[in-house]
Structure 1
């Protein structure tokens, strides 16, 4: 049995596990192969109905750095909360069990955080598509620090939603899996994840809490995390309550930001988020029209378009500076054009497929 029980634990890695029998080996092996050896790996078996629990137990028998927690299924957010209860490291990292990380990710982030006395440090990530194409996502061009309250607020707003003229819906990803967080800050703020059964993107709620108590954070340009697309993605899974969870998220963000004193002038970031997630919800319905039927699909899209929250956003948001495609979609929603929104989604998907084909051709 391997391990380093006599050494101080530098990073506790929390891995929620649920129905990932196909991917769990790849994930755990990437953690065991880390160049930083003083780590704790907490595998939280969230009541997975497949063989994941047994696989986790077998890994724990081979390496004493691994701790397995078996619990009743309650979702990703609560699984992470459970993992934090068992974390003994100076920093905490979150890795999704269908993803993996580079062999030096934890060492590089820990060394940089220690040398710079940071409460959190984030890196870029690589998207691994279902056909095994790798696309780097660098969020900064050079090391970027956020050293005071105003700068941390700017970073938070960049995760929620970018300003209208920015080409992407957000400057920084909300996801917690691309960084490490100082445990004493998490403990001081009693930072917790809500249930994704009530809201989408529960990570942003954790970040609101953490960034209130943190002092210094930094973002690195290097990509160390591998985010893997799989069959549970938007195009393969229909959730009837997706938009309801979007509205719940917006309301909770608003509540939490007021509680912690963060400002969002003119609701600019929250409204950009609402517009983006509305497109996503409508796109999901379009992808599953074959299952819902055209009449029901159109009814669900119209229901989203006429929701009071989205109508308020459409009436107040400064759309003139939005990127062209997003502006077109904005007006389709404003005019309550179900046909127009579906056509735009179809055109945009064709454009993206052509872009991927051109990129693939150039790589040859």
Structure 2
């Protein structure tokens, strides 16, 4: 009997995208699928669309629930999972038809606990592929747990995203997503990866990550600070289990702190009185020595920290100057992603 793969698809207000997502799953070349559609109290026609697919295909199972957010929907879906593997798919994204087959084959070949697919950033008229570290033709990269955790903390080759990865179900079943937060994957991924013995990265992009103007990451609000809170919560775990990665973890926190301070400054109406900016400023001040040590090999970040500690306004001015120099091409921009026009 070939392994069963359960795909968990949380659904909320994606009426115009849902069909493309579900049909890309139904077209998978892998034969043993369980497709769990979780209608998270969507106020549009998503529930009816999901029910229609369930009526047409016995592999589809629909759960209707009151709205509780993405984490809650995933958790409810996980309670229904019966597969040997689980794959999370957000309902506005879609898959290459061979994705599941390729990932299962690689999991079996390498005895991998988790397999990660490369992906496209999918816009209406073009795709972007991150070819800074790998090309499509490269052989799969196999990581043990120590290397995996390092790459997860760096967050370049291994992203925090739950989607686009095939997990052995027993690895993740009893680790729920944190409810009521944005960027829930940052609170979750390190706990699951900590259990993995072997992790495989595939370089052929088989997942299409839709970029939406109305997505939760497109418009800044104070809730976006959940990302920073997630990094701090993860840091406690990293410091306890992977002390050698503490500096890199602090570096991530510093970078995110500066970015969010800048965003709060640009959206002052979201931080009337400046309490959120002061919270960031106090954290940087109270952890200055650790953050300074973490940034010492990154000249740009180290300079930003120096100006920020003297006064955040100096950091903001420095930031504007650097952006201006990049625009004038006095300072080179980092290498971009490969663009594929549609």
For this structure pair, what is the TM-score category when the shorter chain's length is used for normalisation? 0.7 to 0.9
| Residue 341 of structure 1: aligned partner | 316
Cα distance change, pair 23–185 in 1 and its aligned pair in 2 (3 A): same
Q: Is the contact made by 2:161 and 2:189 (CA closer than 8 Å) also made in structure 1?
A: no
| 1:41-120 paired onto structure 2 within 5 Å | 41-120=35-114
| Residue 298 of structure 2: aligned partner | 322
| Residue 181 of structure 1: aligned partner | 167
Cα distance change, pair 215–340 in 1 and its aligned pair in 2 (3 A): closer
Cα distance change, pair 323–123 in 1 and its aligned pair in 2 (3 A): farther
Cα distance change, pair 361–191 in 1 and its aligned pair in 2 (3 A): closer
| Residue 247 of structure 2: aligned partner | 268
| SS of structure 2 residue aligned to 1:306 | helix
The structural deviation recorded for 1:122 is 0.8
State the distance in 1 between where 2:238 and 2:302 align. Answer: 27
Q: Is the contact made by 2:130 and 2:337 (CA closer than 8 Å) also made in structure 1?
A: no
Question: 5+ residue gaps in structure 1?
Answer: 1-6, 163-168
State the distance in 2 between where 1:353 and 1:64 align. Answer: 58
Q: Is the contact made by 1:137 and 1:223 (CA closer than 8 Å) also made in structure 2?
A: no
| SS of structure 1 residue aligned to 2:28 | coil
| Residue 172 of structure 1: aligned partner | 158
| 1:1-364 paired onto structure 2 within 5 Å | 10-129=4-123, 131-137=124-130, 140=134, 141-147=138-144, 152-160=145-153, 162=154, 170-187=156-173, 190-195=174-179, 197-198=180-181, 200-233=182-215, 236-243=218-225, 245-257=226-238, 262-265=241-244, 267-285=246-264, 288=267, 292=269, 299=274, 302-308=277-283, 310-317=284-291, 318=293, 319-322=295-298, 324=300, 326-338=301-313, 340-341=315-316, 344=319, 348=323
State the distance in 1 between where 2:242 and 2:319 align. Answer: 33
The structural deviation recorded for 1:79 is 1.1
State the distance in 1 between where 2:172 and 2:217 align. Answer: 34
Q: Is the contact made by 1:9 and 1:40 (CA closer than 8 Å) also made in structure 2?
A: no
Kindly provide the CA deviation profile for residues 129-183 of structure 1, in whole angstroms up to 9, marking residues without a partner as x: 3x53211125555422123xxxx133223222x3xxxxxx644210011210111
Number of residue equivalences:
332
Q: Is the contact made by 1:60 and 1:68 (CA closer than 8 Å) also made in structure 2?
A: yes
The structural deviation recorded for 1:98 is 1.2
Question: 5+ residue gaps in structure 2?
Answer: none
Q: TM-score, normalised on structure 2?
A: 0.83
Q: TM-score, normalised on structure 1?
A: 0.78
State the distance in 1 between where 2:80 and 2:68 align. Answer: 17
| SS of structure 2 residue aligned to 1:48 | coil
Cα RMSD, aligned residues only: 3.4
State the distance in 1 between where 2:339 and 2:47 align. Answer: 42
State the distance in 2 between where 1:247 and 1:235 align. Answer: 13
Q: Which moved more, 1:137-146 or 1:82-91?
A: 137-146
Cα distance change, pair 62–8 in 1 and its aligned pair in 2 (3 A): farther
Q: Is the contact made by 1:10 and 1:110 (CA closer than 8 Å) also made in structure 2?
A: no
